[in-house]
């Protein structure tokens, strides 16, 4: 049970880091666009 839980948390953590790395540039781009809209 503990081994399964540990494996699952490791699996989830690795996927979360990949997802965050993919989403972060998108969020940054959206923020830049929003700032551009504000400054126009």
Domain of residue 29 covers: 1-40
This prediction's pTM: 0.48
Q: Domain count of the chain?
A: 1
| Tens-place pLDDT, residues 1-40 | 688 888 899 999 999 999 999 999 999 999 998 888 877 6
The four Cα atoms 10, 16, 18, 22 give a dihedral, to 10 degrees, of: 180
């Amino acid at each position: 049970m503990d081994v399964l839980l540990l494996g699952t948390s490791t699996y989830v953590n690795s996927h979360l880091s990949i997802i965050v790395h993919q989403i972060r540039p998108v969020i940054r781009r959206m923020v830049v666009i929003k700032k551009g809209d504000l400054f126009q």
